Amino acid sequence: MGSATLSFTVTHADTAIAVGSGSLPVLGTPRLLAWCEAATCTAVEDDLLDGETSVGTRVEIEHLAATPVGGRVEVTARQVHVDGRLRRFAVAVRNVAPDGSPGKLVGSGEVTRVVVDAERFLSRLR
């Protein structure tokens, strides 16, 4: 089953203030969610056939701790369930300590994606 780990450094553009989800200069929940989805996209990538992509269909995330501007986080997605085109991932976000070791759990949850034919999916929107 697929998994992926991505690393990010929080910038001013990632803060709750910048993304419109609060008034503090810390990692905003919408950005945390976007990074979790990015990790799931990376995790499913090797399973896709030519012309396929995946779309997010369900998200359950808990944002548990703050990360300041300049803080580093590691986002891990681990596929935990497959049912045909459906893929379910456990996601975890951890602060990275200055020495590079894993730090406090920042967020966790589950992201569900469905594998689709990109062209057919987009043709339904026309």
pLDDT number for residue 101:
87
Tens of pLDDT, residue by residue, the chain (126 residues): 799 999 999 999 999 999 999 999 999 999 999 999 999 999 999 999 999 999 999 999 999 999 999 999 999 999 999 999 999 999 999 999 988 888 999 999 999 999 999 999 999 998
Listed residue (29, 105, 20, 99) closest to 61, CA to CA: 29
Q: What residue ranges in 1-126 does DSSP mark as E strands? A: 3-9, 52-63, 72-83, 86-96, 102-117
The pTM assigned to this predicted structure is: 0.95
β-pair partners for 53:
116
Report all structural domains of the chain as residue ranges with CATH numbers, in order of start.
3-123 (3.10.129.10)
pLDDT number for residue 71:
96
